[in-house]
Amino acid sequence: MAEQYRLEMTGISKSFPGVKALDGVNLKVRPGTVHALMGENGAGKSTLMKCLFGIYKRDAGAVYIDGVPVEIANPDDALKKGLAMVHQELQPIPARTIAENMYLGRYPMKNFGPLRVVDHKVMNAESEKWLKDVKMDFDPKAKLGTLSIGQMQSVEIAKAVSQNAKLVILDEPTSSLTENEVEALFRIVRELRGRGVSMIYISHKMAEIRKIADDITIMRDGQYVGSWEVKDISDDEIVRQMVGRPLTNVYPPKDDVRTDEVVLRVTDLCSIHPRSFRHCSFELRRGEILGFGGLVGAQRTELMEAVFGMRHVQSGSVEMLGRPAIIRRPQDAIGRSVGMITEDRRGTGIIGCLSVLDNTAIASYKNYAEMGKIDYRKVNTVVDESIRKLSIKTPSGKTLIQSLSGGNQQKVIIARWLANNPDILIMDEPTRGIDVGAKYEIYQIMIELVKQGKSIIMISSEMPELIGMSNRIIVMCNGRITGEVEGEGATQEAIMAYATQFELKGA
């Protein structure tokens, strides 16, 4: 085919210290088409887009726009070359008007005596024109914050079009939209496609891809898997191509030490936010490692944080160790013998300016205190013991935690909870950003804990880890529990199928 591509990326590679994030990835987008880019969490989709926009510098490969090789220095430069991105998380200024947001940083100016001032009349008129162009009739003088997220997204798209974008990237555009909004978005997408604008559509939602995309490129673990026309590939095939990797990671051997005792029973838990988790019910048994799988945005973290009292729930009930539990804040959960290792280690885990000792003991100081006076002899003994038992590599307990490696920081957080001797430990992405050796050690600790009769809930976005470590895996999609797999049935394909079981929107 002697076809001229709108965008052609060939052999794109990018390494970060220790990982090869992209390895010879190709992406060819035809003019006037919607090109779906699919892949699991961490497949490298975002990295590829960042390389395209000059946010990361690629190590190898070439980029052509309309057949002309280009070097893109930064997002601003990309815009000049006709590329625009509508981000997954929009970054608008809600307190300013629609027009001001659309013309941010490039306000039309006029002379006002000796001064150059913003020409609001031109700006508003132009904005209105562009909004009309994508079939939206908002008042450009309205505050952006009065719009819904979907409408803001449409404004973003109008902004991209107003900047003469030839290629618009939509990163998970429907993740927070209602049915009607999705339909409105698709109308805009079709309209633009009809006018020759190309779009890269990043999404996990099979049904949407079917409805809107012409071509599809699949990535896996930073590798290019292949490209197809959407009509030539089945849903099953897409899933298979996305996960089709052998289980290479090694996991410590584990025995099934599960008992019949239910230590945690969650019944019909619903978030106060309608788009977060809803009607979630599950049970955790003593001695069990219960995995929670799903794609980013499946609300697994939100569900667990609610169980731990970090988030509010609308309805539903929680039973801990056989008794109903009303959990309003983490203290309540801790009082019920629950511990939580959060996903965001820097944000809600470590206390950077304090020592390893303080970080280890912060959750258990009260156990070693009488009338508020801390018995440091006891604290030191316990902390030294956990440093030894978890082989935390630190010069001493007085070392600041921020000077340790990620893996050792994580072990300190684990030690923090072990010092409290909880029956239930919730671990949210316990091995994220940790090197292989430390990962293995954390797996060993987990296995040791369940042997001692503790129970673990592990959220993980790494499927091999989920399958390798869990006795049972619950899969969530878009706030609901969509399936449960165990033993032989716990395959990557099965998990992926449940994880992409979206409710049909705007079908």
Nearer to other proteins, 27 or 457 (CB): 457
The yes or no reply on residue 342 touching other proteins (CB under 8 A) is yes
Residues in CB range of 265: below 8 A, 6 or more apart: 282, 283, 284, 318, 319
Q: Considering the complex, what minimum distance in angstroms separates the CB of residue 353 from other proteins? A: 4
Residue with Cβ nearer other proteins (129 or 328): 328
CA atoms within 13 A on the CB side of 488: 0
Q: What is the dihedral of CA 292, 297, 298, 299, to 10 degrees?
A: 80
Residue 82 tokens read as 């006709």
DSSP codes of every residue in 242-254: HH-----S-----
340 interacts with other proteins by CB under 8 A? yes
Taking CB under 8 A as the criterion, the residue among 15, 26, 337, 348 binding other proteins is 348
- Cβ proximity to other proteins: between 2 and 326 the closer is 326
The tokens of 240 are what?
């298979």
Q: How far apart (Å, rounded) are the C-alpha atoms in residues 182 and 172?
A: 11
Residue selected from 300, 416, 454, 480 as contacting other proteins according to rule CB under 8 A:
416
**From candidates 104, 247, 369, 436, binder to other proteins by CB under 8 A:** 369
Comparison of 352 and 433: residue with beta carbon closer to other proteins: 352
Can residue 405 be called a binding residue for other proteins (CB under 8 A)? no
Regarding 366 and contact with other proteins (CB under 8 A), the answer is: yes
Q: Determine if 480 is a binding residue for other proteins (CB under 8 A).
A: no
By beta-carbon proximity to other proteins, the closer residue of 44 and 349 is 349
Task: Compute and round to an integer the Cα radius of gyration of the chain.
Answer: 26
Question: At closest approach, how far in Å is the CB of 396 from other proteins?
Answer: 17
Dihedral sign for Cα 412, 414, 415, 417, please: positive
Among the listed ranges 51-59, 64-72, 164-172, 358-366, the one in contact with other proteins (CB under 8 A) is: 358-366
- Minimum CB separation of residue 384 from other proteins in Å reads 18
Q: Does 353 engage in binding with other proteins (CB under 8 A)? A: yes
- Looking at the Cβ atoms of 69 and 373, the one nearer to other proteins is 373
Q: What is the DSSP string of 276-323?
A: S--SEEEEEETT-EEEEEE-TTSSHHHHHHHHTTSS-EEEEEEEETTE
CA distance 428 to 360: 18
User: CB–CB of 340/330 below 8 Å?
Assistant: yes
Site membership for other proteins, residue 284 (CB under 8 A): no
Q: Are 297 and 202 in contact (CB under 8 A)?
A: no
Amino acid letter for position 144: L
Residue 113 lies near other proteins (rule: CB under 8 A) = no
Residues of span 297-336 touching other proteins by CB under 8 A: 308, 310, 329-331, 334-335
Contacts with other proteins, residue ranges (CB under 8 A): 308, 310, 329-331, 334-335, 340, 342, 347-354, 358, 361-363, 365-366, 369, 372-374, 376, 402-403, 416, 420
